[in-house]
A and B are shown apart, each in its own frame.
Chain A
Amino acid sequence: MPAVQETVDQVRRIDVDQYKYGFETIIESDKAPKGLNDDTVRFISAKKNEPQWMLDWRLDAYRRWQTMREPNWAKVHYPPIDYQDLYYYSAPKKKDGPKSLDEIDPEILETYRKLGIPLRETEALLGIQRPAGEAADGGENGESGESGYGRRVAVDAVFDSVSVATTFKEELAKVGVLFMPISEALQKHPDLVKQYLGTVVPVTDNFFATLNAAVFSDGSFVYVPPGVRCPMELSTYFRINERNTGQFERTLIIADKGSYVSYLEGCTAPSRDENQLHAAVVELIALDDAEIKYSTIQNWYPGDKNGKGGVYNFVTKRGDCRGARSKISWTQLETGSAITWKYPSCILRGDDSRGEFYSIAISNGHQQVDSGTKMIHLGKNTISRIISKGISAGQSQNTYRGLVSAHRKAKGARNFTNCDSLLIGDKCGAHTVPYIEAKNASAVIEHEATTSKISEATLFYCRQRGLSAEEAVALVVNGFVKDVLQTLPMEFAVEAQKLISVSLEGSVG
């Protein structure tokens, strides 16, 4: 049939250029020698000019890490990682640290352009003022930004390991919001960092988190003072760019009493042969009545069509609803990486606190995703909500793994979980592994799950109306994930929709 030939051609075309972000920027970098030992840790700490306590903390983590073993319970398979064959620190060469955006390497800015980062954010990155009216919402904490499109985005760009540009900092400073690279926070606000770092994800939490504690290079630090509603979305773009460089970001966000902050993280990385290790740690702390919304779009290199290469993504993300009536909401769109091992979680410690997890995880080609969440109910009348949409295509494996736990004192805890899986083709797999623990009789935990296959009949219906095979899949999938897509900030929603289409290219035929 001619239709088959057309599909074959289409798939062939896509293979050539499947990962359109697969380019590499050539910038001289400043690297630690390969391998990991005490000296590597000291090198990184010295590079950052860190206080002694921080170095001690890192060294302690490193010693503990040496006694730990890589976890193997996830449904992912990969060859052993040689931790001595990686670089643990790589920074773009710089003069004395950029004083203004003019000093940013034009190649880095070009990289952002190639990534198709929306004009709004590029402007933000370039420090261009928004037109009057839109720019007026930055002042006091208030109802600004509700209009969606008018909202601005502050970008703290992490290029490999060092944050190279921070914008809108002054405006944030006006309302007392601290938003800066964590290395800078260690210099300027060491007490805040010391008070909160490692209090949500302890140094000994797990193999990858402990490794991160030893060698983390940089990341973002956010502190929102009591009663302040952060006047803009905070956004960070991470890129993995140096060959064989592990990426170990560390992000710490603290929302003090009655404050609100929305943080966006978006990622994409260049194509390469060797697998790249990425082990980030994100800690969120919400005090009384505070709210943190954390959104991620992850689009790292997933490997080629034979499953070669791609990023290994072992991430520990956890939020602590430490105060009463606090709220933490995770939204993620995971489309990239060869391996994803990631469970953004909430500890619902404060009474009446609330945790949410909205996830879209798409796997194609040979990708392996093992992702989900943990909702740990400790406080009274705590509420959690989990909406997970997994889409598997190609020869990928996609697992939802989640824990809902209501402790003895968590009277009146409530959870609602909905896990839907969609299969495209007949060589992929979808798995749902929910763990549920209720240690008191008043807890109410609901779990719903469905698995469905995208039907040929539905695709044919769409194609009969004029959609190409891939447009049809994208449309059906966008419908499937709609509930979660709606929880993304407006800035990302359109981009996310496009990304879903790109991720599923070559999944039919």
Chain B
Amino acid sequence: MALLEIKNLHVSVDGKQILNGLDLVVENGQVAAIMGPNGSGKSTLAHVLAGKADYEVTQGQVLFDGEDLLALAPDERAAKGVFLAFQYPLEIPGVATMTFLRTALNAQRKKRGQEELSAPDFNRRVFDAAGKLGIERDMLRRGVNVGFSGGEKKRNEVLQMALLEPRLCVLDETDSGLDIDALKVVSEGVNRLRAPNRAFVVITHYQRLLDHIVPDVVHVLSRGRIARTGGKELAHELEAQGYAQYQEAVAS
């Protein structure tokens, strides 16, 4: 069974149709890139998978491990293993990153009927994961994302991903606002997490991220549905030719 199966998904926001009969299958262990022009519905897809309010599903189905994902609240989806790396991670003043991580991990464990982690065990996991991403301990004591640079925020997203051990990671334009060095660190962090029982949906406008996180499959999203599917070479083709043909093809 596929880990994620999206069938004929129609989604509208404020009465405007964004996703328009989207079909997508992501297998366990797969890294699927979703590319597409601005306004094609890439971020909408990410948010609908995570359960953001204001997105109205008018038709279709999303199965996660065979279960109806749309019936679950955002935090329940998180506990089942759906993780969204935000394009613009939010700041939470006064809440130390460490506290946030512990609260999140324990909330998920509680929902899964697991014991809370002991403090030493938790600290060891965080410091271990943070070390690999070059995140200083001082950063863990600061408010969540408060005063972080763009690169630090994205690294913090990957840190959370590493700690929460999700089964499906959705990366929403993770490359935006990153210089090449930060892009490398973040990509390496993501690559370390690739595993047979974990899938990635990598949403990006540009091919450059896919040089670092090499996808198994590339889908082109256009006008709210998958217009084309191919291998990693498709990304290079798009880079060379642009998205114009997809916009025109659907518009005509």
Residues of chain A having any CB pair with chain B under 8 Å? 1-4, 6, 455-458, 460-469, 471, 475-476, 478-483
Complex CA–CA separation, A455 to B91 (angstroms): 11
Complex CA–CA separation, A1 to B54 (angstroms): 9
Please tell me if B134 contacts chain A, counting CB pairs below 8 Å. no
Given A456-B53, A466-B107, A475-B100, also A2-B86 (CB < 8 A): no
Q: Chain B: how many interface residues by the 8 Å CB criterion?
A: 36
Given A463-B75, A464-B78, also A475-B89 (CB < 8 A): no
By the criterion CB–CB under 8 Å, are B95 and A466 in contact? Answer: no
A sample of 10 inter-chain contacts (CB < 8 A) reads: A457-B90, A464-B51, A464-B77, A465-B78, A466-B75, A466-B79, A466-B111, A468-B73, A475-B100, A478-B94
By the criterion CB–CB under 8 Å, are B53 and A467 in contact? Answer: no
A454 smallest CB distance to B (angstroms): 10
List residues of B (84-99) whose CB comes within 8 Å of A's CBs: 84, 86, 89-95, 99
Please tell me if B44 contacts chain A, counting CB pairs below 8 Å. no
B95 smallest CB distance to A (angstroms): 4
Q: Which residues of A contact B108 (CB under 8 A)?
A: 465-466
Given A463-B78, A465-B160, A466-B164, also A482-B94 (CB < 8 A): yes
By the criterion CB–CB under 8 Å, are B79 and A2 in contact? Answer: no
Q: Is the interface of A mostly helix, strand, loop or mixed?
A: helix
Extra inter-chain contacts (12) besides given A463-B73, A467-B104, CB under 8 Å: A2-B71, A3-B53, A4-B53, A6-B73, A458-B92, A462-B92, A463-B74, A463-B75, A464-B77, A464-B83, A468-B73, A482-B95
By the criterion CB–CB under 8 Å, are A475 and B78 in contact? Answer: no
Q: Which residues of A contact B100 (CB under 8 A)?
A: 465, 475
By the criterion CB–CB under 8 Å, are A466 and B71 in contact? Answer: no
A455 smallest CB distance to B (angstroms): 8
Residues of chain B having any CB pair with chain A under 8 Å? 50-53, 56-57, 70-75, 77-79, 83-84, 86, 89-95, 99-100, 103-105, 107-108, 111, 143, 160, 164
By the criterion CB–CB under 8 Å, are B74 and A460 in contact? Answer: yes
Complex CA–CA separation, A458 to B86 (angstroms): 11
B62 smallest CB distance to A (angstroms): 12
Chain A residue with the shortest CB-CB distance to B54: A456
B67 smallest CB distance to A (angstroms): 13
User: Of residues A4, A457, A462, A468, which shows the largest number of chain B Cβ atoms within 10 Å of its Cβ?
Assistant: A462
Given A466-B111, A467-B103, also A483-B94 (CB < 8 A): yes
Q: Which of B50, B56, B94 contacts A1 (CB 8 A)?
A: B56
User: Of residues A458, A465, A479, which shows the largest number of chain B Cβ atoms within 10 Å of its Cβ?
Assistant: A465
Complex CA–CA separation, A464 to B84 (angstroms): 7
Complex CA–CA separation, A461 to B88 (angstroms): 10
Q: Which residues of B contact A463 (CB under 8 A)?
A: 51, 73-75, 78
Q: Which residues of B contact A476 (CB under 8 A)?
A: 92, 95
Q: Which residues of B contact A466 (CB under 8 A)?
A: 75, 78-79, 104-105, 107-108, 111, 164
Chain B residue with the shortest CB-CB distance to A6: B73
Chain B residue with the shortest CB-CB distance to A452: B93
Q: Which of A4, A457, A480 contacts B94 (CB 8 A)?
A: A480
Q: Which residues of B contact A471 (CB under 8 A)?
A: 75, 103, 107
Q: Which residues of B contact A483 (CB under 8 A)?
A: 94
A258 smallest CB distance to B (angstroms): 36
Complex CA–CA separation, A462 to B78 (angstroms): 10
Given A456-B53, A479-B95, also A461-B111 (CB < 8 A): no
Q: Which residues of B contact A480 (CB under 8 A)?
A: 93-94
A128 smallest CB distance to B (angstroms): 28
B125 smallest CB distance to A (angstroms): 15
Complex CA–CA separation, A466 to B80 (angstroms): 9
Chain A residue with the shortest CB-CB distance to B86: A461
By the criterion CB–CB under 8 Å, are B107 and A468 in contact? Answer: yes
Complex CA–CA separation, A318 to B103 (angstroms): 39
By the criterion CB–CB under 8 Å, are A3 and B73 in contact? Answer: yes
Complex CA–CA separation, A377 to B52 (angstroms): 51
Q: Which residues of A contact B83 (CB under 8 A)?
A: 464
Q: Which residues of B contact A456 (CB under 8 A)?
A: 53
By the criterion CB–CB under 8 Å, are A465 and B104 in contact? Answer: yes
Given A478-B95, A479-B143, also A460-B53 (CB < 8 A): yes
Chain A residue with the shortest CB-CB distance to B93: A479
By the criterion CB–CB under 8 Å, are B107 and A467 in contact? Answer: yes
Complex CA–CA separation, A462 to B62 (angstroms): 22
Complex CA–CA separation, A253 to B163 (angstroms): 51
Q: Which residues of A contact B90 (CB under 8 A)?
A: 455, 457-458, 461
Q: Which residues of A contact B104 (CB under 8 A)?
A: 462, 465-467
Complex CA–CA separation, A471 to B71 (angstroms): 20
Chain A residue with the shortest CB-CB distance to B112: A466
B79 smallest CB distance to A (angstroms): 5
Chain B residue with the shortest CB-CB distance to A10: B73
Chain B residue with the shortest CB-CB distance to A481: B94
By the criterion CB–CB under 8 Å, are B92 and A460 in contact? Answer: no
Complex CA–CA separation, A462 to B95 (angstroms): 12
Q: Which residues of A contact B93 (CB under 8 A)?
A: 479-480
Q: Which residues of B contact A462 (CB under 8 A)?
A: 92, 104
